[in-house]
Amino acid sequence: MIEILVILGAPIAGAALLASIGERQHAAEINVGISLITFIAAVALAVRVVAEGPLLLAGKIFFVDPFNVFLIALTAFVGLTTSIFSRPYMRIEQDLRHLTPGRLRLYHSMFQVFNFTMLLALSANNMGLLWVAMEAATLTTVLLISLYRTPASLEAAWKYFILCGVGIAQALFGTILLYFAAEKVLGAGGGALLWTELDSVKGDLEPTVLSLAFVFLLVGYGTKVGLVPLHNWLPDAHAEGPTPVSAVLSGLLLNVALYAVVRCKVLVEGSAQTSFARTLMMGFGLLSVVTASLLLLRQKDIKRLFAYSSIEHMGIITFAFGMGGPIASFAGLLHMTVHSLTKSAIFFAVGHATQKAGTQLMDGIRGLVTISPLIGWGLALGALAILGMPPFGVFASEFLILTTAIREQPWATPLLLGALGISFAAIFSRVQPMVFGETTVQRLPHRPAMIPVFVHLAIVLMLGLWIPPFLADWYRQAARLIG
């Protein structure tokens, strides 16, 4: 009980604190400190849940089972490393005069509020509360993306607001339909929206209503996952917002949105007993993978490149969850973890690289290794990791997904392989000249924070070579819950 209160309370208290002192000398350190507290509480909660099983907290408001506690821990961890990274990054941005003190204050407080909304969305039992948290997350990111107030960032934030706003509205309709179906079985009142209650009666819920609800929920929350064709906001948001925001968007928000989709999928499968939900998820996932990989070839901006890579990987994860079954779900969860870690690591490196080069266009960044070996190698290794090179963890999860696909959905395998191949070529050919060769970049005024990058990559490497037994067990439990 105390852990969940700390997990949720620390960010919100931190946000309030940072709203008043966010531009001062040590604001970034306070930011890191709050994230650290959140992380410790998350680890404690995770330990408890893995030991004791699913927990209902605060009178059924919060529900923590192995599936979402692992995401809570991941969110807290990446939040911590991002706050560590953001310290020097924002300092350099201030020196480059991209930010005023007022904006910095907004940034710090919104960062913590964003963490709060994501953690709330992950731990909420009430589907309506989940929705509210997702909408709040949308609103905070709108403010964060438009931080620099350039025309391009305003456009990106507006597009984001409109697209995700419409998506959230569809998700609300799906939630209402869900309530519609649940009211018949569970009666009116708050109990009808609790996921635990819905899960226990899912066999009795009307299949037609639930199927329609799932369509709306998939379209709604899927917009926030970045599934094609609802992905238009993603590249712009990643390119125009500050890099720490891109990191948490790619690394965390997409995961949380997919979590919401998977929770709904569990309900629909239990009710309809058809493969309707699965087929939809597989279709959207595959479409995302193929489209994103094709669009990767045309990118000139480095952040957009990796944003499309995020779309591709989220497509793979959606496809994996769509296939279902113990191995595919296990692989999906593993991929969620390694993708979060790798993508945020890449964005950390990219952030500093763009600061050194003064531009986000890939043609303007050359020869990072020469001036700053840490950033150069960080980027190179990160790119290799995300491309699925062994022995990194992404290879392991992709391998599992592909083998399951060959067994169960053979028609999808050539598409997947083709898309992965295209993205490999695209990213590799772009990253290689950026890292090696003649240099055009300069030194940074402050020391870059490269520790988070290498910590993430090290974890990903470890997961590729050896998954600790407790982690594997954890994944297996979660996979069983997903079905």
Partner 1 sequence: MPMNIPLWAQLINLLAAVLLLLAFAMLAQRRVLTLINLFAAQGFALACSTAIVAFATHQPHLYWSVGLTLVLKVLVLPWLLHRLIVRLDVKWDVEGLINIPTTMLLGIVLVVFAFNLALPISQLANTVTRATLGIAMASVMLAFLMMITRRKAIPQVIGFLAMENGLFFAATSATYGMPMVVELGIGLDVLVAMLILGVFFFQIREQFDSLDLQHLEKLKE
Out of 146, 310, 318, 360, which residue is the one contacting partner 1 (CB under 8 A)? 146
Q: Of 114 and 131, which CB lies nearer to partner 1 in the complex structure?
A: 131
Whole-number Cα distances in Å, 468 to 43, 67, 251, 392, 462: 16, 17, 22, 15, 9
132 binds partner 1, rule: CB under 8 A: yes
* 3-42 binders of partner 1 (CB under 8 A): none
Q: Of 308 and 475, which CB lies nearer to partner 1 in the complex structure?
A: 308
Q: What's the CA gap between 250 and 237, in Å, rounded?
A: 10
Closest CA to 72 of 35, 120, 11, 37: 120
* 285-324 binders of partner 1 (CB under 8 A): 295, 298
Q: Of 135 and 269, which CB lies nearer to partner 1 in the complex structure?
A: 135
Q: Closest separation between CB of residue 129 and partner 1, Å?
A: 6
Buried b vs exposed e over 238-272: b needs ≥16 C-beta within 10 Å?
bbbbbbbbbbbbbbbbbbbbbbbbbbbbbbbbbbb
Cis peptide before 151 (omega within 30 of 0): no
Q: Of 39 and 308, which CB lies nearer to partner 1 in the complex structure?
A: 308
Out of 173, 276, 399, 436, which residue is the one contacting partner 1 (CB under 8 A)? 173
Contact segment (CB under 8 A) with partner 1 among 73-81, 91-99, 145-153, 443-451 equals: 145-153
The pattern of x and - marking residues 186 through 225 that bind partner 1 according to CB under 8 A reads --xxx-xx------------x-xx--x-------------
Closest CA to 71 of 130, 128, 31: 130
CB 444 within 8 A of CB 356: yes
70 binds partner 1, rule: CB under 8 A: no
Q: Of 158 and 436, which CB lies nearer to partner 1 in the complex structure?
A: 158
Contact segment (CB under 8 A) with partner 1 among 161-169, 345-353, 379-387, 437-445 equals: 161-169
For 124, phi and psi rounded to 5 degrees?
Answer: -75, 140
Enter the tokens of residue 79.
């939040």
Angle formed by the axes of helices 151-186 and 207-225, nearest 10°: 160
Q: Closest separation between CB of residue 168 and partner 1, Å?
A: 9
Q: Closest separation between CB of residue 305 and partner 1, Å?
A: 12
The pattern of x and - marking residues 229 through 258 that bind partner 1 according to CB under 8 A reads ------xx--xx------------------
Q: What's the CA gap between 362 and 324, in Å, rounded?
A: 38
Q: What's the CA gap between 37 and 80, in Å, rounded?
A: 9
Amino acid at residue number 476: R
Out of 69, 92, 110, 139, which residue is the one contacting partner 1 (CB under 8 A)? 139
- CA count, 13 A, side-chain hemisphere, 462: 13
Bridge partners (DSSP) of residue 62 are 57, 124
**How deeply is 410 buried, as exposed, middle or buried, from its count of CB atoms within 10 A (0-12, 13-18, 19+)?**
exposed
> Got the DSSP string for 246-306?
HHHIIIIIHHHHHHHHHHHHHHHHHHH-SSHHHHHHHHHHHHHHHHHHHHHTT--BHHHHH
100 binds partner 1, rule: CB under 8 A: no
Out of 62, 63, 70, 131, which residue is the one contacting partner 1 (CB under 8 A)? 131
Out of 43, 183, 399, 425, which residue is the one contacting partner 1 (CB under 8 A)? 183
Bridge partners (DSSP) of residue 301 are 361
The pattern of x and - marking residues 322 through 361 that bind partner 1 according to CB under 8 A reads ----------------------------------------
Contact segment (CB under 8 A) with partner 1 among 41-49, 179-187, 283-291, 364-372 equals: 179-187
Q: Can you give the binding site for partner 1, defined by CB under 8 A?
A: 126, 128-129, 131-132, 135-136, 139, 142-143, 146, 149-152, 154-159, 161-162, 165-166, 169, 172-173, 175-177, 179-180, 183-184, 188-190, 192-193, 206, 208-209, 212, 235-236, 239-240, 295, 298
